[in-house]
């Protein structure tokens, strides 16, 4: 099984061998990060077929790489039809297909692969059914839970596992999940898109100077969180913990760069912390985001479920201490006492306690952050990750039965 468990070993190999650039069609059903698209464009001749996201973006930012992008219908069923027809009619224009997730679009891609005999990989970045189950506890997000939809998701997952079963997953947690669907084929654990260590790195500029440059509060503890208002993100536990810190006379600020400002501010008002919450639009993930990690004193990832979680990895790469929920793929990277602090899911008091410990013990926080950065450099370096993915695609094209 190929993977990215040792970045340096993969990089050493890349210096000895040149992996062919294959023609890859990337099928995106639920939106994707520009870092993934740009990384794929570096290792392949890339075309993207994406479902239209009403009120959102198919790719999080405008890619700087040259790609062919086609946007299909917003309906999942109609998009799946387009995926099937495209893969069959344009079979001579691509060597392999990478399809996002294990939903309806993946089923269409896997069915097309049976006809065309062109290899297809399911790229699993999130635990879709785990995220969906979070809707039961997160009614405030406006995403209702429907048992029939949940059962349909499970059925699609099992069907895809039965008829295809070739996966790339971001974490061991996701590997276990797709195994539970009945997957018997190869499962490659590759944390694409990795972390770009050329931009996510400690700054030589002191934090107070960075805060001033970014127009952030110059005093107190600045806590960064990427948790948007979504069922799988536990915004209420985060804000409740902030409320507890403020009640204990802690001088703390919460910064989040995300959409859905109105919902976040409404929840912040509910918990009486609106004046200490700074909400702004999402910024470019490599051009602007690193500076916010570098300026922050602490990064907190509060989740009900998580496939891997890149925000803590990026924060650690910048030398910023991390606290994360002990759930899903986060348990593989944020190890309490080693690379950060962990807190029990849904426990605001426990989260507040851990944040207090990190604030009160700056030397220990920096020790854990340094350990975390070493882990990121070793296992999640961007170039090594995409090199491993390129090798998987090449193996799939060269030896379809492998």
Residues 239 and 90 in one domain: no
Residue 375 CA to residue 373 CA, distance in Å, equals: 5
Residues 221 and 164 in one domain: no
> What pLDDT sits at residue 141?
64
With tokens 């650039």, the residue in question is 21
Query: Does any domain span residue 351?
Result: yes
Query: Does any domain span residue 261?
Result: yes
Query: Does any domain span residue 202?
Result: no
Query: Does any domain span residue 84?
Result: yes
Residues 62 and 128 in one domain: yes
> Do residues 200 and 314 lie in contact, with contact meaning Cβ atoms separated by under 8 Å?
yes
Residues 387 and 375 in one domain: no
Query: Does any domain span residue 2?
Result: no
Domain range enclosing 62: 7-194+381-398
- pLDDT (tens digit per residue) in 185-228: 889 999 999 999 999 999 999 999 999 999 999 999 999 998 77
- pLDDT (tens digit per residue) in 49-98: 999 999 889 999 999 988 999 999 999 999 999 999 999 999 999 999 99
> What pLDDT sits at residue 186?
84
Residues 111 and 170 in one domain: yes
> What pLDDT sits at residue 243?
98
Query: Does any domain span residue 217?
Result: yes
Q: Which of 240, 232, 268, 225 lies closest to 141, judged by CA?
A: 232
Of the ranges 93-102, 111-120, 223-232, 291-300, which one carries the lowest mean pLDDT score? 223-232
Residues 328 and 341 in one domain: yes
> Do residues 189 and 3 lie in contact, with contact meaning Cβ atoms separated by under 8 Å?
yes
Residue 104 CA to residue 89 CA, distance in Å, equals: 19
Query: Does any domain span residue 149?
Result: yes
Whether the pLDDT of residue 315 is over 90: the answer is yes
Residues 280 and 385 in one domain: no
Whether the pLDDT of residue 137 is over 80: the answer is yes
Residues 47 and 185 in one domain: yes
Q: What are phi and psi of 97, to 5 degrees?
A: -120, 135
Q: Count how many domains the chain has.
A: 2
Residue 272 CA to residue 266 CA, distance in Å, equals: 10
Whether the pLDDT of residue 120 is over 50: the answer is yes
> What pLDDT sits at residue 16?
43
Whether the pLDDT of residue 7 is over 50: the answer is no
Residues 144 and 233 in one domain: no
* Mean pLDDT score across all residues of the chain: 92
> What pLDDT sits at residue 14?
44
| Integer CA distances (angstroms), 257 to 225, 227, 228, 284, 311, in order | 8, 9, 8, 10, 12
Residues 255 and 374 in one domain: yes
Query: Does any domain span residue 188?
Result: yes
Residues 82 and 57 in one domain: yes
Residue 254 CB burial class (10 angstroms; 0-12, 13-18, ≥19): buried
> What average pLDDT does this structure show over 172-193?
94
The single-letter DSSP state of residue 381 is B
Q: Which of 65, 11, 74, 12 lies closest to 36, judged by CA?
A: 65
Q: Residue 107 sits in a domain of what CATH number?
A: 3.40.50.2000
Residues 184 and 216 in one domain: no
> Do residues 232 and 306 lie in contact, with contact meaning Cβ atoms separated by under 8 Å?
yes
């Amino acid at each position: 099984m190929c993977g990215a468990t040792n970045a340096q070993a993969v990089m050493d190999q890349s210096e000895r061998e040149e992996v062919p650039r294959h023609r890859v069609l990337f099928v995106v059903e639920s939106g994707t990060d520009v870092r993934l698209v740009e990384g794929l464009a570096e290792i392949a001749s890339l075309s993207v077929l994406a479902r239209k996201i009403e009120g959102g973006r198919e790719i999080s930012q405008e890619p700087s790489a040259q790609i062919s992008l086609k946007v299909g219908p917003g309906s999942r069923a109609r998009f799946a039809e387009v995926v099937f027809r495209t893969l069959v009619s344009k079979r001579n224009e691509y060597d392999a297909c990478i399809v996002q997730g294990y939903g309806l679009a993946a089923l269409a891609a896997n069915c097309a692969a049976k006809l065309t005999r062109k290899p297809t990989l399911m790229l699993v970045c999130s635990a879709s059914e785990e995220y969906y189950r979070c809707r039961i506890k997160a009614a405030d997000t406006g995403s209702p839970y429907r048992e029939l939809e949940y059962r349909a998701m499970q059925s699609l997952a099992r069907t895809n596992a039965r008829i295809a079963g070739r996966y790339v997953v971001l974490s061991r947690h996701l590997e276990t999940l797709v195994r539970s669907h009945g997957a018997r084929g190869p499962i490659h654990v590759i944390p694409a898109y990795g972390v770009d260590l050329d931009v996510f790195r400690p700054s030589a500029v002191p934090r107070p100077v960075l805060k001033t440059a970014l127009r952030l509060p110059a005093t107190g503890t600045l806590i960064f969180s990427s948790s948007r208002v979504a069922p799988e993100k536990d915004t209420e536990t985060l804000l409740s913990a902030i409320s507890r810190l403020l009640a204990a006379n802690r001088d703390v600020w919460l910064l989040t760069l995300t959409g859905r400002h109105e919902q976040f501010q409404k929840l912040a008002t509910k918990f009486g912390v609106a004046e200490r919450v700074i909400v702004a639009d999402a910024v470019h993930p490599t051009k602007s985001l690193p500076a916010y990690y570098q300026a922050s004193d602490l990064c907190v990832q509060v989740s009900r479920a998580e496939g891997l979680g890149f925000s803590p990895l990026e924060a650690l790469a910048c030398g910023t201490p991390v606290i994360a929920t002990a759930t899903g793929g986060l348990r593989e990277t944020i190890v309490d006492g080693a690379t950060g602090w962990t807190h029990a899911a849904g426990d605001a008091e426990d989260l507040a306690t851990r944040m207090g410990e990190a604030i009160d013990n700056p030397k220990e926080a920096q020790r854990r952050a340094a350990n975390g950065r070493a882990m990121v450099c070793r296992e999640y370096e961007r170039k090594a990750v995409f090199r491993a993915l390129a090798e998987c695609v090449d193996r799939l094209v060269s030896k379809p039965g492998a």
